[in-house]
Structure formats: structure tokens, C-alpha cells
């Protein structure tokens, strides 16, 4: 839906375009694609009826109504100068807006990055932009480069590509992926030992590689540098404050069902009572009864000490009183989160650093539950919120926060190609992993999707053949490779293996170019 909206394609035409692109139409049920359009329209109507929109609907409504409104168009006439970054990576919706604004603007400036553009791999429509008659002004080519070696600018245009360059080292002789990871670790040690600063090294993977991250973290855990994963996002429940808040919520609201483990309760007591693991474990086994905190025995009080026993009794009584108020519908979820933090957790060590996280959790609860309540068919929105936080929600650490950690700590970077290219991080040494893998350029064709046929430049009456798929994947591979080369000022090391992590033979990736 997002791709169709950016391409200004009607939502009820998505299934039709996908079906028309199929080569073997007899082997599929055409009704499935008709139903797809019906489901999409039902989805959109359900959102609109509840006063809710997603990003694809926002784009469509903006183009269908705001850009047709005379009052809004008059406001756009106040814009006198337009600057467009990476013009050849705009989508059709962006181009439409720029064309409207430029009609009354004094000057428009368009900046192109054809040599190192890569967003066509992630949904932009370069072919449509290049065919547009809009860009007929003066074109100034800037030949300078600031982040890479001169030879890297045009190395992919030569017949031998990566081969025979003194600054590109290739090792694809590993049979197993574990062997490749071992070689990468050896190369990192060699680079550091020979004086390469850790912050100048970037390990680039086709996707977020948590196995490689774990292996390198383990190998260099005692090293004076770290491995900073730009794609790493921990679960929100990994934060002990959030963990405690969610457990207390489940104790306060009897209608919410969730089974916590003994280790969850151990972590709860350890955090709230600031006690050792042994005492926390004893409490977990002896005082918890069907998610309720029981009264302490004299033996348990002696083990805990008077101060912690008093704190425990305060927490248990607070939860009981709060549970009574919840049953009378006098406290909502977002308010409950604030009360838990202020009444139980505010005096804990590290509470100051976690105020922002708890505030975000409270605001998220308010937005999440209010949105679900607008859909009259969804019951127990509080349960849905708890399930989401416990099982799915990622932490509130933004990509820019992770990037800033790199600049502060100056560690080795581990990143997917996309995260690295959209960051402000640069490197003098790059290590590309799994260069024999097709993950560097995954297939566009899937069972009920194909981004390529949902672009404005695609002729919906043409069949999307395997030849077109191969050509598109190779183009995407080139664009990502060019962009990575443009961000390396020193050497590049290519590593691959004959077999993937799952044991499948692989001979694609950058070996195809």
C-alpha cells in the first residue's frame, strides 16, 4: 500500500496490477487478487470510519483533497524557493508536489546523486523521474568526491569490477559461514593491531546480522573497543523499569491475562527491593500466589530485613488498593503507568535516567488504546496493549541515538547496507560480509507482492518476466555497491562462503557483477 500510494496508484488497482504482471496466470486463482483489492478497500474504509489513517492513506488523502483545495494551493504559492535533495530518487507523489510548488516559485534547485544513489533498491522510482519533462533547466555536474578514493568512483565500470584492485581484498573461499565469521574476526584483530582506529572500520552486512554481532561481541568482549550495531534494537521489556511496570499493571488489572515466569518475579523483586538474587528467588517461590503478592512470614521478614520488608508491604498494599480502583474504572492505563513510577519506582537507583522511557510508555499506552477503541470490533484494548509491549515492542532508542553512540564511543560499526548509507557514519575500511549471498539483492517477486510493478514507471499491461527480475536485481546490486564505495576512503575487504547459515549453496550476490 505504501508503494502504491507513493506511486499515485489507486488502492483498488493493486491486485489488478499484480495479476497482470504474472507470466503463468493459469497457475493462480485470479479471485485471490480480486479479493486483495476488496480487503485493501475494507481496511481503508475501516480506518476512515474510525477517524484513523496510516502513512499510505495519508499520502493518498493529501494528493486527492489537499492538493485539490484552492485555499491550500494558495498557501503553497508563498513558497518562493525549492531545494530538492537526491532528485532522481523521488517518488511520483513527491514529484507531483514539487511540480505544483514550482509553478509560482522564483527558483528551484535540484540536487542529483546518480553515481551513488541507492534508494531505488528500497522503493523509489528513478526511471519515472528520469522520463519526467519537468527537469529541463540548467544542469551542473559536481565531479568532486569527499568520502572515497578516486578509483572507487568508477571501479564498477571496468571489466574486472572488484578484481585486480590493490585496495580491494576478496576472500570467498570459506565453505561454511562460521569459517567466514572466523576470518572476519581475524581481519579485525589484524587491522587493530596494525594501528587502524576502531572507529574507522565498518562491517557491512546485507541485512541486520545478529549472529555475526553476537560472535564478534563474544570474541572481543575484553578488547578496549566495542562493536556498535547500528541496527540493534532491543525489546522494550529488556528495560528493567518497563519490565516492572508491565508486571505491576498485570497485578492491578485482573482482566488482563499473562503468565509470568519465576525469573520474571525474581527480576521484579530484585529491582524494586534492591536485593540480592537469593532473596529475590525465595520471594518469587514463596510469596507469589496466582499473580498476587501475599503477606510475609516472620522468617521471610528476617531474611529481607526490616527496611526491605517495609518496602515490600508498601508495594503489596499499593497494588491491592490500586486493583480496587481499577475495578471501579477510576484509573486509565496511561495514568496507571505514571502512578506506578511515581509511587513505587521514583526512589530507585537509576530512576532519573528512566523517567523519559516511562513517560514514552505512558504516552504510547494512551495513543495505542485510544486508537484501538475507535475500532468498535476490537475488545479489551488494554490486553492488546500489554501483549504488544511484552511480546513485540522495541525500545524507544532512535536510529540517531544509536548513531550518536558511535560518535561518542568510537567503536567498530556493524550495520546493514541501508542503515550505513542513511547514516552520517563514514569509514576508511569497510568489510562486506556474505558477498556470495542473494540477500544483497532479494527477489522482488513474492506470492502476493512485487514492488516493481507498483511503481509509476511500470506498464501494467506488461508481464514481469524472470529476465526483467534478473535485470532489476542486478541494477539494485550496482546501486548499493556504488553507494558503499563512495563512503570508503581506504580499503575494502569482501568475505563470503559457499554455504549459507542454513546450509544452502550460494553463488550470487556480488559474484554476479
The confidence score (pLDDT) of residue 358 equals: 87
What is the per-residue burial (b if ≥16 Cβ within 10 Å, else e) of 306-324?
eebbebbeebbebbeebee
Q: How many of the other CB atoms lie within 10 Å of CB of 49? A: 11
The confidence score (pLDDT) of residue 197 equals: 93
pLDDT surpassing 80 at residue 115: no
pLDDT surpassing 80 at residue 353: yes
Rounded to whole angstroms, the Cα distance separating 323 from 328 reads 9
401 contacts 394 by C-beta, under 8 angstroms: no
Spatial CA neighbour of 316 closest among 329, 328, 301, 330: 301
Sole residue written with cell 502512578: 339
Indicate the domain borders of the chain.
Answer: 1-73, 79-143, 150-233+398-512, 236-391
Rounded to whole angstroms, the Cα distance separating 493 from 481 reads 13
- What's phi and psi for 129, nearest 5 deg? -65, -40
pLDDT surpassing 80 at residue 268: yes
pLDDT surpassing 50 at residue 65: yes
Give 405 or 60, the one with higher predicted confidence.
60
Average pLDDT for 190-195:
94
Cα 434 to Cα 121, 171, 482: the distances in Å are 18, 10, 17
Average pLDDT for 81-97:
83
Q: Which DSSP string do the residues of 129-155 spell out, in sequence order?
A: HHH-SS--S--------SSS-GGGGSG
Of all residues in the chain, the percent with pLDDT exceeding 70 is: 88
Average pLDDT for 413-438:
88
Rounded to whole angstroms, the Cα distance separating 1 from 448 reads 12
Average pLDDT for 363-370:
88
The confidence score (pLDDT) of residue 58 equals: 92
Give 23 or 341, the one with higher predicted confidence.
341
What DSSP element (H or E) covers 207? none
Q: Quote the cell numbers at residue 442.
A: 532479494
Average pLDDT for 212-222:
90
The confidence score (pLDDT) of residue 372 equals: 81
The confidence score (pLDDT) of residue 71 equals: 93
pLDDT surpassing 70 at residue 121: no
Q: Using pLDDT thresholds of 50, 70 and 90, give the confidence band for residue 47.
A: confident
Q: Using pLDDT thresholds of 50, 70 and 90, give the confidence band for residue 159.
A: low
Q: Which residues pair with 495 in a beta bridge?
A: 171
10 Å CB burial of residue 86 (0-12, 13-18, 19+) is middle
Q: Using pLDDT thresholds of 50, 70 and 90, give the confidence band for residue 126.
A: confident
The confidence score (pLDDT) of residue 328 equals: 45
Rounded to whole angstroms, the Cα distance separating 509 from 162 reads 13
Query: Is residue 160 classed as helix, strand or coil in its secondary structure?
Result: coil
DSSP assignment letter at 462: S
pLDDT tens digits for 373-388? 777 767 778 888 889 8
Cα 71 to Cα 65, 68, 86: the distances in Å are 11, 9, 30
The confidence score (pLDDT) of residue 158 equals: 61
The confidence score (pLDDT) of residue 160 equals: 58
**Which has the minimum average pLDDT: 28-37, 231-240, 471-480?**
231-240
Spatial CA neighbour of 433 closest among 245, 116, 201: 201
Pick the CATH number of 150-233+398-512 from 3.30.300.30, 3.40.50.300, 3.30.2040.10, 3.40.50.2000: 3.40.50.300
500 contacts 440 by C-beta, under 8 angstroms: no
The confidence score (pLDDT) of residue 483 equals: 84
Amino acid at each position: 500500500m505504501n508503494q502504491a500510494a507513493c506511486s499515485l496508484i489507486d488502492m483498488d488497482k493493486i491486485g489488478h496490477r499484480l495479476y497482470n504482471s504474472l507470466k503463468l496466470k493459469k497457475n493462480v486463482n485470479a479471485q485471490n487478487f480480486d479479493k486483495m483489492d476488496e480487503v485493501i478497500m475494507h481496511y481503508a474504509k475501516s480506518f476512515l470510519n474510525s477517524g484513523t489513517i496510516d502513512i499510505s492513506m495519508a499520502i493518498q488523502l493529501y494528493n486527492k483533497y489537499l492538493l485539490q483545495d484552492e485555499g491550500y494551493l494558495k498557501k503553497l504559492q508563498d513558497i518562493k524557493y525549492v531545494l530538492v535533495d537526491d532528485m532522481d530518487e523521488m517518488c511520483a507523489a513527491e514529484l507531483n508536489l514539487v511540480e505544483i510548488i514550482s509553478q509560482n516559485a522564483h527558483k528551484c534547485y535540484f540536487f542529483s546523486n546518480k553515481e551513488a544513489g541507492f534508494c531505488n533498491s528500497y522503493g523509489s522510482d528513478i526511471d519515472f523521474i528520469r522520463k519526467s519533462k519537468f527537469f529541463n533547466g540548467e544542469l551542473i555536474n559536481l565531479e568532486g568526491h569527499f568520502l572515497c578514493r578516486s578509483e572507487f568512483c568508477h571501479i564498477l565500470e571496468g571489466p574486472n569490477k572488484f578484481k585486480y584492485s590493490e585496495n580491494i581484498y576478496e576472500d570467498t573461499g570459506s565453505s561454511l559461514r562460521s569459517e567466514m565469521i572466523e576470518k572476519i574476526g581475524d581481519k579485525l584483530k589484524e587491522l587493530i593491531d596494525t594501528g587502524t582506529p576502531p572507529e574507522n572500520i565498518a562491517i557491512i552486512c546485507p541485512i541486520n546480522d545478529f549472529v555475526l554481532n553476537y560472535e564478534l561481541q563474544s570474541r572481543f568482549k575484553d578488547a578496549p573497543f566495542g562493536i556498535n550495531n547500528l541496527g540493534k534494537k532491543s525489546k522494550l521489556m529488556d528495560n528493567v523499569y518497563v519490565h516492572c511496570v508491565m508486571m505491576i499493571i498485570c497485578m492491578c488489572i485482573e482482566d488482563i491475562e499473562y503468565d509470568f515466569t519465576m525469573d520474571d518475579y525474581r527480576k521484579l523483586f530484585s529491582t524494586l527491593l534492591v536485593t540480592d538474587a537469593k532473596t529475590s528467588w525465595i520471594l518469587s517461590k514463596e510469596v507469589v500466589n496466582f499473580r498476587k503478592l501475599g503477606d510475609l512470614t516472620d522468617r521471610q521478614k528476617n531474611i529481607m530485613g526490616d527496611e526491605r520488608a517495609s518496602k515490600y508491604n508498601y508495594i503489596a498494599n499499593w497494588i491491592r488498593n490500586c486493583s480496587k480502583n481499577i475495578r471501579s474504572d477510576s484509573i486509565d492505563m496511561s495514568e496507571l503507568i505514571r502512578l506506578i513510577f511515581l509511587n513505587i519506582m521514583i526512589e530507585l537507583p537509576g530512576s532519573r535516567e528512566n523517567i523519559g522511557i516511562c513517560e514514552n510508555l505512558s504516552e504510547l499506552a494512551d495513543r495505542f488504546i485510544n486508537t484501538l477503541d475507535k475500532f468498535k470490533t476490537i475488545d479489551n484494548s488494554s490486553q492488546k496493549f500489554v501483549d504488544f509491549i511484552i511480546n513485540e515492542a522495541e525500545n524507544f532508542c532512535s536510529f540517531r541515538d544509536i548513531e550518536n553512540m558511535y560518535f561518542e564511543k568510537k567503536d567498530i560499526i556493524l550495520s546493514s547496507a541501508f542503515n550505513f548509507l542513511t547514516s552520517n557514519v563514514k569509514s576508511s575500511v569497510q568489510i562486506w560480509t556474505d558477498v556470495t549471498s542473494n540477500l544483497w539483492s532479494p527477489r522482488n517477486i513474492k506470492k502476493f507482492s512485487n514492488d516493481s510493478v507498483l511503481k509509476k514507471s511500470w506498464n501494467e499491461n506488461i508481464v514481469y518476466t524472470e529476465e526483467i527480475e534478473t535485470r532489476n536485481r542486478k541494477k539494485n546490486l550496482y546501486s548499493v555497491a556504488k553507494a558503499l564505495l563512495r563512503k570508503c576512503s581506504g580499503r575494502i575487504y569482501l568475505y563470503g562462503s559457499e554455504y549459507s547459515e542454513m546450509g544452502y549453496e550460494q553463488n550470487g550476490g556480488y559474484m554476479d557483477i
